[in-house]
Amino acid sequence: MTPLPPDFPNRGPAAPGTVYLVGAGPGDPELLTLRALRIIGEADVLVFDHLVSDAILSLVKPDAERIYAGKERGNHAVPQEDLNLMLVRLARQNLRVVRLKGGDPYTFGRGGEEVETLKEHGVPFEVVPGITAAAGVAAFAGIPLTHRNYAQACVFVTGHLKDGSMNLDWPGLARRRQTVIIYMGLHGLAHLCEQLIAHGLPADWPAAIVQQGTTPNQRTVTGTLATLPDLATVAGLKPPTLIIVGEVVRLKDKLSWFPEITA
C-alpha cells in the first residue's frame, strides 16, 4: 500500500477492544478507502452483511472469525438489537471488531443504531465511511446524480421502512429539477412509480433501475415511471438494486462506460 504523506494525520492500526464500523462500498473492492482496507486486514472478528462481496471478504486475515449478520428481505440472520449487543460483547473480549457493511455505514446501514448501543455501553468505536450505493452505482451506470441542465438537488430515500411500508414524502419527491435515488425499492417499484405520478410527475418522467451495480453482474434497465415496473419484471431483476428517478437518466446512453450484462 502506498504510504501516506508524512504530514497527513494517521489514526494508526486497529486497536483491541474497539469496534470499527466500516463501509465496504457498493461491491467493487477497488472502491474501498485506504482506511477500510487497512482495518479489514487487521480484524480479529468480522461481522458482515450480505451485500459485502466475496472479493472484499478475501481481504480478511485467515485466522479472523467471520460472523454473518445479513439482512435480506424477510430474512434477518441476526435481529438488530441482538447484533448491537453482540458487538459490545466481542469488544469486551479485547478483540479488534470490524462491523462491515455494504455501502456506507451511516446511509441506510443502521450504523447510527449500532453506535448508540456502543456509546451506551462505553465501547470505543470508529466509523470508516464508504462509497454509498447512490454515488457508486449511478457513476458506473453512466447517470450523474446532479447536472446543471437537469438536476440541482438529489434526494436519497429507502423503499423499505422499519414497519415494512413505503410511506414516503411523495409531494417532496415528485418535484422537477432533482434526482431521487431509492434504496431497497425493487419490491415496491410499481407503487413507487404510481405515487410519483399521482403527486405530479408526468408518466413519461425518466427512471432507471440498476441491479448489482459496480460488479460484473451490473445491469441497468431504463424507462419511464409508466413503463419501468413492467420492464424490470420482464428483465427478471433481483436485489440488490438501486432506482434512479429524474431527467439525469436521459444521459445514460451518452455517458455509459462500464460494461454490463445484457440478459
The yes-or-no answer on residue 54 being catalytic is: no
What value does the CA radius of gyration of the chain take, rounded to a whole number of Å? 19
Judge whether 18-128 and 133-255 match in fold: no
Tell me which of 44, 49, 104, 252 is the catalytic residue.
Answer: 49
Instruction: Please say if the pLDDT value at position 9 is more than 80.
Output: no
Cβ atoms of residues 130 and 105 within 8 Å: yes
Average pLDDT over the chain, rounded to an integer:
93
Task: Summarize pLDDT for 216-257 with one digit per residue, the tens.
Answer: 999 999 999 999 999 999 999 999 999 999 999 999 999 999
Distance CA 70, CA 77 (A): 6
DSSP state of 247: G
Task: Summarize pLDDT for 195-214 with one digit per residue, the tens.
Answer: 999 999 999 999 999 999 99
CATH of domain 133-255: 3.30.950.10
Q: State which H helix or E strand residue 76 sits in.
A: strand 75-76
Tell me which of 71, 101, 104, 252 is the catalytic residue.
Answer: 71
Locate the domains of the chain by residue range: 18-128, 133-255
Cβ density class 113-124: b for 16+ within 10 Å, e for less: ebbebbeeeebe
The yes-or-no answer on residue 101 being catalytic is: no
pLDDT band at 117 (very low <50, low <70, confident <90, very high): very high
pTM (predicted TM-score): 0.92
Distance CA 69, CA 75 (A): 10
Residue-by-residue DSSP string for 205-234? -EEEEEESTTSTT-EEEEEETTTHHHHHHH
CATH of domain 18-128: 3.40.1010.10
Average pLDDT over residues 173-187: 96
Residues 6+ apart with CB under 8 A from 134: 107, 145, 154, 156, 181, 183, 242
- Mapping DSSP to helix (H, G, I), strand (E, B) and coil, where does residue 244 land? strand
Tell me the three cell numbers of residue 116.
448508540
